Amino acid sequence: METVLVTGGAGFIGSHLCEHLLAEGYRVICMDNLSTGTIDNIDHLRDENFRFIKQDVTEYLYIKEPVDYVLHFASPASPIDYMRMPIQTLKVGSLGTHKALGLAKEKNAVFLLASTSEVYGDPHIHPQSEDYWGNVNPIGPRGVYDEAKRFAEAITMAYHRYHKLRTRIARIFNTYGPRMRLNDGRVIPNFVHQAFNGEPLTVYGDGSQTRSFCFISDLVEGIVRLMHTDYAEPINLGNDHELSIIELANKIIELCGIRTEIVFKELPQDDPKTRRPEISRAKKILGWSPKVSLEEGLRRTIDWFKNKSSLSTSYREKGV
């Protein structure tokens, strides 16, 4: 039985990854400092092949037993989080990645970095392919996340070239699904949260900016396929179906079955105007492409939020 260490394993993506790997027969070590992750995401996973370690990945990492894969997913990932924790975000992308790489080197393990489409910044090329170097403001408010991930990619490739470490880099585009936090500030949970509360949906700018949304199960499948390749260059993982934010808002209003209005606010600084992955590399090398349609994924996500909200209401009514 091979062992996989997942840093950030109690987060949204990390917890789904832990769950998938357990189902495939791996032993999983989940490491998380719970700054944005939660024990609720992994409570159902606890068995003899799953172990949780509460630790900040920027500290010294010691794992006694052999480790076959190190999947580095630790980092705040939504603007509300990395703007609240700018220095911690920079540290986990730099020091944390260094520590995780060092552990992979010690264990002779495969190392997979969870990078992001944010390395492309506010792109001048559309759609974004892996050979595009990006248009990033290093001193803007989003720079703490963008540059942390760009550094993480650079040090990962340095370990690959200098130490001959087996490395993989996944550039993850907008992903959604169950276990997202309703208050994490990202657009889908934000719209659903406002819809549930009967509030107007807040659209920044005029809503013409575009995004592409990948359902969590599709993303996890792509990550697992990537960890089993020997391809070291970055690979985009995301859904290449693109829509505007105003279209997304109207779709969520429709699926939630509510009547509400849309209000517009000023676009945040450096907010990308377009975001769509070019995924031919993933199709060719991984044999991967997303399968879950936006409507199906949104229905499943909204149903999960409804069930979670109903459960929370029930607990409050019982005084829990």
CATH number, domain of 109, equals 3.40.50.720
DSSP for 245-301 reads HHHHHHHHHHHHT----EEEEPPPTT--S---B--HHHHHHH-----S-HHHHHHHH
Burial profile 98-133: b = 16 or more Cβ within 10 angstroms, e = fewer: bbbbbbbeebebbbbbbbbbbbbbbbeeebbebebe
Residue 139 lies in a domain: yes
Q: In which residue are the tokens 């208050």 written?
A: 183
**Structural domain count of the chain:** 1
Please give the pLDDT value at position 259: 85
Active site residue 145: yes
Residue 31 lies in a domain: yes
**What's the domain range around 225?**
3-177+215-240+272-291
- Identify the three-state secondary structure at position 147: helix
Residue 320 lies in a domain: no
Nearest Cα neighbor of 57 from 3, 9, 118, 16 is: 9
Q: In which residue are the tokens 């070239």 written?
A: 161
8 A C-beta contact, residue 287 and residue 235: no
Residue 317 lies in a domain: no
Residue 253 lies in a domain: no
Please give the pLDDT value at position 310: 59
Residue 305 lies in a domain: no
Residue 17 lies in a domain: yes
Which residues of the chain, if any, have pLDDT below 50? 311-320
List 26, 145, 159, 176, catalytic entry = 145
8 A C-beta contact, residue 136 and residue 119: yes
- Identify the three-state secondary structure at position 243: strand
Residue 80 lies in a domain: yes
